[in-house]
Structure 1
Amino acid sequence: MKRTIFGRTAVLAIALPLALSACGAANEGPAAGGSGESAGEEVSGTIAGAGASSQAAAVEAWKAGFEGMHPGATVNYDPVGSGGGREQFLAGGVQFAGSDAYLKKEELSKVSTACKGGELIEFPAYISPIAVPYKLDGVDNLQLSPETLAGIFAGKITAWNDPAIVADNPGVTLPSTRIAPVHRSDKSGTTENFTDYLAKAAPKAWPHEPEGNWPISGGEAAKGTSGVMQAVNGGTGTIGYADASQIGDLPHAKIKVGQEYTGYSPEAAAKVVDASERVADRSQYDFAIDVKRDTTESGTYPIVLVTYTLACTKYDSAEQAKLVKEWLSYITSDEGQKKAQEAAGSAPISESARENAKKAIDAIAAS
């Protein structure tokens, strides 16, 4: 089973109106829900997290907002990568983690010890659309089916006037320019999510397992999102994949979903998460999903990266439990999600995702 991992960056905005117990009206800050209707509990102390670099910009925005509301609180986050974040969390080294993949079955066996006998909390908190930018003179409204997109990146479709591309773009004059696909040279959550999409939406055209390392030879390789964008922008007939917030003024392809062609948007990215099924046989506060890449639902954009927040229902002290609770309430609040969208171009999580997160956050307590 392919696990969802959602890349740079970028990946869910929730308006989470938590009415947490107040500790005195004179000392109350703005609501954890971010809208000012209810007061969040005043907290102090320090907590640490580690994990996905994809949400690093969002975490910085969250930290600024949260610590501004709670001057006595400090949140540290090390963007060491998803794997490193999961390792530190399961070893009990950090109080929360960010991961572009939900925990594997073998990792779940370590949760009880890491969580002091409590349960795992795992929910999407950051959604990042992955765009397909291109540079092709005279073409600014490109449409591609999953099969055509897979054929391009597999090296089977090599010219922009290939019959498959022509069929996706009726009435558009396409040049005979050679296609120059650009992929990541480094291991990447963006690559894993992109290849997961190709494998699920166009399995005949892309018979490769989803992989963080680019799985085939050919094409141009570039390091990091910035490298991919430099290569696409500096070439002719180029096409790549990257966090949507990083493509700048370059046009991006609309992707065929069902009978329609859909461009990325925060709403379309969040909608595919709601259309996806929850992973079976997980604990009550584990809301991991397998993104429905092959959805045909109108208005969805299936090339997305989802980053999960990992936490526990039990912590060593009441102070630590309250601080984690307030932090998670803030990042999933309407205000928190808006800050992530402004800082990192992420897609706000939906109301249903927000409610799931609230159920988990409400269960946090001292051991």
Structure 2
Amino acid sequence: MFVKRTHRGRSALLLAGVALAASSVGTAFAATSLTETGSSLLYPLFNLWVPAYTKKHEGVQINTAATGSGTGIAQSTQGIVQMGSSDAYLSGAQMKKHPSMLNIPVAISSQMINYNVPNANSDHLKLSGPVLADIYSGKIRYWDNKKIESMNSGAHLPHKRIVPIHRADGSGDTFLFTQFLTKSANNWKAHYGTTVSWPSVQGAIGATGNSGMVTALQNNPYSIAYIGVSYKDQTDKAGLGEAKLKNKSGNYVLPNKQTVPAAAAQMVPKTPKSERISLIYAKGKQSYPIINYEYVLVDSKQPNKETAKELKQFLTWAVSSDGGNSMEFLKPVHFMPLPAKARQLTMSQIDKIHG
């Protein structure tokens, strides 16, 4: 039977077709949204990862922010974000309060000790944990102090007051630095953590984020700071000095392709299943003393299966040697890939994520 279609009927069918097509497009391109916040040390790596990953995985949208490890810890444990990036693993007390949280290492990084001493920034001044502890506690106040001079024969050390710069925000870098002081210096009395009640030192400066540390160091001659290695390109460009640190064997070393893996080789085999471990102050003649796992803190119990699936897929890619752990991504931020044992433990953790 032939049915005559009126102009009004054809319009209605056309509109219905457009609506159906729009609905199909919307369904096809609906993205699962994941949010990461926290460590400013890990932030540059996430900024390399996310565009590369989402280009090949259109079904996920990933938002990132450098807010400091303290915020990453707080917002991930509170369920505000899916990923809290942190240089610090959760403490025993935090794990007791949030037992479903996972501490997932995704790479190995290190921390530099940088300084701004005119005419000495290219010298790689030698420093030790006890000397840094004395500087940050106010016991050593001038660059030409005998303890510093004794380590740096021939260096130009002026009689200028040292300006110690510390993180003002809740920082995993502070956690690493104060761990190093605690483990290497008997004279350091403060407890370590992402936030520290710093000793009162004349002229001391607080800065926010690693980028803030670089700026404060650059703007204040005779200052000293602890800065994550992912900002090495910025410190080099600013012409800032980078110290050689005295390791546990008594040798002075810089963080590089030899010294960071040397320290990792000593510490990674000690990693427990939870992967909550300090890699600071490793034994070994070549070991650089301040290295660490970079953590992504994730609640194993996600609100739904789709979020859990996308989260697992992204983290699996991030730690794979042909994905986010390839040197294509790690070299620009001066990170080291996870060794095989650590990657195996990390994959076991990622497998625990469910919706």
Alignment TM class, shorter chain as reference? 0.7 to 0.9
* Structure 2 SS opposite 1:62: helix
Q: Could you say which structure has the higher helix fraction?
A: 2
Q: 1:261 aligns with which of 244, 252, 257?
A: 252
List runs of 5+ in structure 1 lacking aligned partners. Answer: 1-42
Q: Tell me if the contact between 2:88 and 2:176 (Cα under 8 Å) persists in the aligned partners.
A: no
- The amino acid across from 1:351 in the alignment is A
TM-score, normalised on structure 1? 0.72
Distance 2:65 2:116 in 1: 35
- The share of aligned pairs that are identical, in percent, is 24
Seen in structure 2, the aligned counterparts of structure 1 residues 311 and 278 have a Cα distance that, compared at 3 Å, is farther
Which structure has more relative contact order (CA 8 Å, sep 6+)? It is 1
Shift of 1:62: 1.3
- State the match for 2:134 in structure 1: 151
Shift of 1:262: 0.6
- The amino acid across from 1:265 in the alignment is N
Shift of 1:197: 1.1
Q: 2:228 aligns with which of 230, 243, 247?
A: 243
- State the match for 1:52 in structure 2: 38
- State the match for 1:220 in structure 2: 204
- State the match for 2:177 in structure 1: 194
The superposition leaves residues 25-61 of structure 1 with CA deviations (integer Å, 9 ceiling, x where unpaired) of: xxxxxxxxxxxxxxxxxx9841423331422222222
Q: 1:105 aligns with which of 88, 92, 96?
A: 92
Distance 1:359 1:44 in 2: 29
The superposition leaves residues 237-286 of structure 1 with CA deviations (integer Å, 9 ceiling, x where unpaired) of: 33222223242232211001112111012553454355347999x8x4x2
Is the radius of gyration larger for structure 1 or structure 2? Answer: 2
CA RMSD of superposed structures (Å): 3.2
1:109-188 alignment runs, 5 A limit? 109-111=96-98, 120-139=101-120, 140-170=123-153, 172-184=154-166, 186-188=168-170
List runs of 5+ in structure 2 lacking aligned partners. Answer: 1-28
- The amino acid across from 2:259 in the alignment is A
Q: Tell me if the contact between 2:38 and 2:73 (Cα under 8 Å) persists in the aligned partners.
A: no
Q: 2:190 aligns with which of 194, 208, 222?
A: 208
Q: 1:348 aligns with which of 334, 337, 347?
A: 337
Seen in structure 2, the aligned counterparts of structure 1 residues 111 and 263 have a Cα distance that, compared at 3 Å, is same
Distance 2:79 2:170 in 1: 25
Q: Tell me if the contact between 2:32 and 2:61 (Cα under 8 Å) persists in the aligned partners.
A: yes
Seen in structure 2, the aligned counterparts of structure 1 residues 144 and 89 have a Cα distance that, compared at 3 Å, is closer
Shift of 1:336: 1.0
The alignment covers a number of residue pairs equal to 312
Distance 2:217 2:80 in 1: 40
Q: Tell me if the contact between 2:163 and 2:223 (Cα under 8 Å) persists in the aligned partners.
A: yes
